[in-house]
Structure 1
Amino acid sequence: MTPAIRAAALPGLLWAMAFDEKGCGRLLEPDEGLPDLDAFGSGFLWLHVDLKTANLAPLIDAGRVGPRALAEAVFRPDEHQRVTVEDGHVGGVVADLARPGAKPDEAGRLHFVMGPRSLVSGRRGPAESPDATRASAEKGQPIASPVLLLETMVGYVVASMAATGQRLSDEVDGIEDRVLDGRVRDDRRRLGPIRRSAVRLHRQLLGLAAVFRRLEEDDAAERLHGPTVATAARLAQRLDALDRDVNALAERARLLQEEVAARVAEESNRQLYVLSVLSALFLPPTFLTGLFGMNVKGLPFADDPRGFPFVIGLCLLSAATTYAIIRALGIRPPRG
């Protein structure tokens, strides 16, 4: 018989939770021994570790984490999303969102090995789904199997991603309303981070959906318990639907960026037109005032008391002539 391993003897173990046959979870005390999963009975065990400080060698050597090669591959520092099936165990790395209070849109990774009566999960940074799942189990939510435990954790990830997508969609809706009303402000600057967040979310969803599609289609998965494949199919469909929404959001943000840029360019052209017309109108009067302001002999109207009104009249006439030429040439302000 494999000797009992106590929770306190595993460095980096964040918690150990035992679930009974009814799916009710109970946190194990540090000095309490981990249940022998090879013994007769029902229920399962959930271990969650901090992979930065954890030492899983005793569990791996004792065969508590599934096949050695699978466990060592899953818990290594590689953060690429993937899934592997071996000897009735499923190991993988999937996307998770950082705990609230971390950097916005920060991506995390959840490593796991799932067996018939156990789930060992780990993370290298603050992740949201394990903490949320633990809180739900402590409040009495029944979780009947490791498959449902994994589905619950991934469900929190999907819900967080969906909430992030909804928040981004609401921001895009507000910007779109202002653009349609012609009230373009600093929206182009706001659309950049929104589009960047949507693209990051799409990448996470794409990888996460691919993991569960591979699990659903893996030939080795046929030897697993039926609910595992069914769970993978449900999650893949849910992730695909959310990914389509996020893709549509990113495309809306891109089109709005182009429209806002066109509106800004149009407003700039209109302002340049006004400045150009003003410059053209003041150019002849400026020339005349400079001409009559030369300090030389022989200037006309120098001694005529009506010289100043005459020069003013010439300036106005030159500006009016310039304006008439502009209209005759068909130069018009840009239209919206």
Structure 2
Amino acid sequence: MDDLATDEAGGTDPLIFGRVLDGQGGARTIGRHEVDNWKPAYPGEVLWLHLRRHAPEVQPWLERDLGIPEPTAELLVSDSTRPRALREGNTIVATLRGINFHPDAEPEDMISLQLWSDGTRLITLRKMPMQTPRDVMGLLDRGRGPTDAGNAITAIVEQLTVRMNQSIVDMNSQIDQLEVMDVEEDYEEILPRITSIRRNCLALKRHMSPQHEALERISRDAPDWFEEHDRREIAESIDRLRRYLDDIDISKESAVVLQDELRARALASNEHATYMLTIVAGIFLPLGFLTGLMGINVGGMPGVDSSMGFWIVVGICAGVMSLQLFLFWRWKWL
């Protein structure tokens, strides 16, 4: 059943879906009433339960019916979502994070996925709906899914990692679009988008770096049921994640360069405007002094009784302005 549809239909049942892997790439559905006393019908069967982490019944069910120790159960349902992984005896316990592709969500709004497995049972828990478990479940339902618990973990990790790449590609596409936009006309639109890209890059780097460490821990410390080919698959996901981290650094630097260019152009534009205002003020300062001097209302002002006095003053002002413009040009101020 669709993960999101089950939430909309009613999100109180801890179980979202259950599958019993047949060891051949397929699986059968298992209901809540069959889970508690489940035992493999034949070697190779694996029980996978995908649960709602926030459901009230989930922690008691994990402890009482599924036999998970209380500290581990508390860890699986806690809101501590920093990626990490550890081994407890013959089990793997991990917290991983994936990109939130819901409408209006930012890449930095990542979704956590808690994971526990003892090789025979695999339990995944999430608070918000996410696509990755549904994708792996779809492969199982088509007979092309993982064959064991280790293979299922590597499939989940691979899907989480591949989906991160889409966000990086989207950010690079946005940067390419911003680079061809007219800075002068679209400055108010470009700057907030660059700020958003930088914030997303920082958030992805903050979440993906510890996830890289968690995957290395799984590859290094996993129990024996986590087979050699599973370790190779995890190693490939680690390499891919490392490349994505490098891509994030490149995207962040590209955004910084573009933002610096925008600020430099804006500063140059402001400086040019200030310079032109200074030139205009410099031209009209002596003219203002001259007209102010001629406008004082005291006796003895020359030209007061002459009909040509006004035009004489205008001519003097024009001459002073012409001399200023010539000098500014000569001094390369214009």
TM-score bin, normalised by smaller chain:
0.7 to 0.9
Q: CA deviation at 1:261?
A: 1.2
CA distance in structure 1 between the aligned counterparts of 2:145 and 2:19, rounded to whole angstroms: 13
Aligned-partner SS, 1:56: helix
Aligned length: 320
Which structure ranks higher in relative contact order (CA pairs < 8 Å, sequence separation ≥ 6)?
A: 2
- Give the TM-score of the pair, scaled to structure 1: 0.84
- Which of residues 100, 103, 119 is equivalent to 2:102? 100
Match of 2:119 in 1: 116
Q: Which amino acid aligns with 2:251?
A: L
Q: CA deviation at 1:151?
A: 2.4
Q: Which amino acid aligns with 1:126?
A: P
- Which of residues 158, 163, 167 is equivalent to 1:164? 167
Mapping of 1:32-71 within 5 angstroms? 32-33=34-35, 36-37=38-39, 40-53=42-55, 54-65=57-68, 69-71=71-73
Worse overlay, 244-253 or 221-230: 221-230
Gaps of at least 5 residues in structure 2 are: 1-11
CA distance in structure 2 between the aligned counterparts of 1:135 and 1:300, rounded to whole angstroms: 100
Match of 2:229 in 1: 227
Q: Classify 1:135/1:29 alpha carbon distance in 2 versus 1 (closer, same or farther; 3 Å).
A: same
Q: Classify 1:255/1:240 alpha carbon distance in 2 versus 1 (closer, same or farther; 3 Å).
A: same
CA distance in structure 2 between the aligned counterparts of 1:225 and 1:91, rounded to whole angstroms: 17
CA distance in structure 2 between the aligned counterparts of 1:250 and 1:75, rounded to whole angstroms: 34
Aligned-partner SS, 1:26: strand
Q: Classify 1:112/1:318 alpha carbon distance in 2 versus 1 (closer, same or farther; 3 Å).
A: same
Match of 1:275 in 2: 277
Q: Which amino acid aligns with 1:44?
A: V
Q: Classify 1:222/1:143 alpha carbon distance in 2 versus 1 (closer, same or farther; 3 Å).
A: closer
What is the alpha-carbon root mean square deviation over aligned residues? 2.7
Indicate yes or no: 2:314 matched with 1:312. Answer: yes
Q: Which amino acid aligns with 2:152?
A: L
Worse overlay, 264-273 or 153-162: 153-162
Indicate yes or no: 2:196 matched with 1:209. Answer: no
Match of 1:6 in 2: none
Gaps of at least 5 residues in structure 1 are: 1-9
Q: CA deviation at 1:330?
A: 4.5
Deviations along 1:136-191, whole A, 9 cap, x unmatched?
Answer: 44455422122232222222322221111111101112222347x98773333321
Q: Percent identity?
A: 21
Answer whether contact 2:51 2:126 (CA < 8 A) is retained: yes
Answer whether contact 1:37 1:44 (CA < 8 A) is retained: no
Aligned-partner SS, 1:331: coil
Indicate yes or no: 2:314 matched with 1:286. Answer: no
Q: Classify 1:26/1:279 alpha carbon distance in 2 versus 1 (closer, same or farther; 3 Å).
A: farther
Indicate yes or no: 2:131 matched with 1:133. Answer: no
Answer whether contact 1:98 1:125 (CA < 8 A) is retained: no
- Give the TM-score of the pair, scaled to structure 2: 0.84
Q: CA deviation at 1:120?
A: 0.3
Match of 1:190 in 2: 193
